[in-house]
């Protein structure tokens, strides 16, 4: 294979400390990134209220001391929020690599993907199969994997009703599709005509605009004849959690996914016990979850709706996220200077 020219300097977006402004910087350079998704977790990291990654590119170098590498130079791979883990602790061995006490996190404890080149770890990068473009795969690596795992563990069966607060957002619009792949009936909860159109187009069975509906709990119970079987809350607002215990049917499962900063989850203890409700936290996904989520998308069963921006537009993207005005995902094209 022909050698790959690696420059001595690169362009990167840097947040010097929590709460600082974004600074575009040139840093010494190893995956050559083609694109990177812009995730709410990155926004929280920049603001300092939650630790904060979705990069796809080509491997251009592998360390000389790397033994038994599962990937090689020239492979197209993805870099996730979980950059590395020890693979030997109890959590790693039980498939909870994301909970490893020695985990390295992209953009938080190690350099992230808002740059042209990034050093990553051969055992944790995700091979990207043919059938999916790099810019689409970028969002699957975090948003897709996160909702895929949550739905996978939502204790639902084909035909069950699942409620998705925040359905028109980056995670939510993918959750609709992964839920449909598993044969679930979807109630999309969000606000705005653009998000309504997107959710129904993607296969949501019912739409509820939380700004217009006067009683979301009663509406969901009416649609589902008694309550939903599960709710996967992907919104970055605490309000999405507060009603879930009320509209879930007995034996229902609340999957906590969205990260509303320092907000707390409030639920009626009486009705949580009385209705045998399960409340489960679901944090990104492991290596196998990533392979499965990417495979489903590569087979055309899940489509990422995104808009492409340049790295220089990152601050503008964050403003759109904070205002809740972005439907789908934003992907940063590293070729756009």
| pLDDT at residue 178 in the model | 98
| Of 290, 283, 309, residue with least CA distance to 50 | 283
Q: Which CATH architecture has domain 154-281?
A: 3-Layer(aba) Sandwich (3.40)
Neighbours of 27 (CB within 10 A): 13
Q: How far apart are CA 261 and CA 50, in angstroms?
A: 6
Q: How far apart are CA 174 and CA 143, in angstroms?
A: 7
CATH class of the domain at 9-141+285-333: alpha beta
Q: Where in the chain are all domains bearing CATH 3.90.180.10?
A: 9-141+285-333
Whether the CA torsion 164, 169, 170, 173 is positive or negative: it is positive
Q: How far apart are CA 266 and CA 270, in angstroms?
A: 12
Q: Where in the chain are all domains bearing CATH 3.40.50.720?
A: 154-281
| pLDDT at residue 189 in the model | 95
Q: How far apart are CA 182 and CA 302, in angstroms?
A: 12
DSSP conformational letter for 99: G
| Of 190, 188, 184, 189, residue with least CA distance to 155 | 184
DSSP conformational letter for 284: S
DSSP conformational letter for 192: S
Q: How far apart are CA 285 and CA 94, in angstroms?
A: 12
pLDDT tens per residue across all 337 residues of the chain: 344 677 665 655 555 555 555 443 433 338 998 888 665 554 444 444 333 468 899 999 998 888 899 999 999 999 999 999 999 999 999 999 999 999 999 888 888 887 888 889 999 999 999 999 998 898 899 889 999 999 999 999 999 999 999 999 888 999 999 999 999 999 999 999 999 999 999 999 999 999 999 999 999 999 999 999 999 998 767 778 888 999 999 999 999 998 777 778 888 899 999 999 999 999 999 999 999 999 999 999 999 887 777 767 667 766 666 666 555 567 787 766 5
Bridge-partner residues for 291, per DSSP?
Answer: none
Whether the CA torsion 331, 179, 216, 238 is positive or negative: it is negative
Residue 187 tokens read as: 């109630």
CA 131 from centre of chain: 20
Residues 6+ apart with CB under 8 A from 22: 13, 14, 15, 46, 314, 315, 318
Bridge-partner residues for 115, per DSSP?
Answer: 12
Q: How far apart are CA 135 and CA 55, in angstroms?
A: 9
Bridge-partner residues for 165, per DSSP?
Answer: 189
Q: Beta strand 228-233 with 161-165: parallel, antiparallel or unpaired?
A: parallel
DSSP conformational letter for 113: S
Helices (H), the chain: 40-47, 90-93, 134-139, 145-152, 170-181, 193-201, 216-224, 239-242, 244-247, 269-274, 287-298, 314-322
| pLDDT at residue 257 in the model | 92
Three-state SS for 225? Answer: coil
| Of 331, 326, 327, 329, residue with least CA distance to 309 | 331
Q: Are 76 and 57 in contact (CB under 8 A)?
A: yes
| Of 109, 111, 141, residue with least CA distance to 11 | 111
Q: Which residue has the tokens 């509406």?
A: 219
């Amino acid at each position: 294979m022909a050698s790959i020219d690696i420059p001595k300097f690169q362009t990167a977006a840097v947040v010097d400390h929590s709460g600082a402004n974004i600074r575009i910087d040139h840093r010494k350079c190893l995956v050559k990134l083609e694109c990177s998704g812009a995730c709410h977790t990155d926004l929280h990291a920049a603001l300092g209220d939650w630790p904060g990654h979705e990069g796809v590119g080509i491997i251009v170098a592998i360390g000389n001391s790397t033994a038994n590498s599962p990937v090689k130079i020239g492979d197209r791979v993805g870099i996730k929020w979980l950059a590395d883990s020890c693979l030997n602790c109890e959590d790693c061995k039980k498939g909870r690599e994301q909970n490893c006490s020695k985990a390295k996190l992209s953009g938080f404890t190690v350099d992230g993907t808002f740059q042209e080149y990034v050093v990553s770890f051969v055992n944790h990068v995700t091979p990207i199969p043919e059938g999916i473009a790099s810019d689409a795969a970028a969002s699957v690596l975090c948003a897709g994997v996160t909702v895929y795992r949550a739905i996978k563990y939502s204790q639902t069966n084909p035909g069950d009703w699942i409620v998705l607060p925040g359905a028109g957002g980056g995670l939510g619009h993918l959750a609709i599709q992964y839920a449909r792949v598993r044969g679930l009936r979807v109630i999309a909860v969000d606000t705005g005509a653009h998000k309504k159109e997107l959710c129904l187009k993607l296969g949501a069975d019912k739409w509820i605009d939380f700004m217009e509906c006067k009683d979301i709990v009663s509406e969901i119970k009416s649609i589902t004849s008694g309550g939903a079987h599960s709710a996967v809350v992907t919104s970055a607002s605490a309000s999405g959690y507060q009603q879930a215990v009320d509209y879930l049917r007995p034996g229902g499962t609340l999957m906590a996914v969205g990260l509303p900063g320092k907000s707390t989850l409030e639920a009626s203890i009486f009705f949580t016990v009385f209705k045998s409700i399960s409340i489960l936290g679901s944090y990104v996904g492991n290596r196998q979850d990533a392979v499965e989520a990417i495979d489903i998308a590569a087979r055309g069963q899940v489509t990422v709706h995104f808009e492409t921006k340049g790295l220089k537009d990152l601050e503008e993207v964050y403003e759109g996220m904070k205002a809740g005005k972005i439907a789908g995902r934003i992907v940063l094209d590293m070729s756009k200077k």
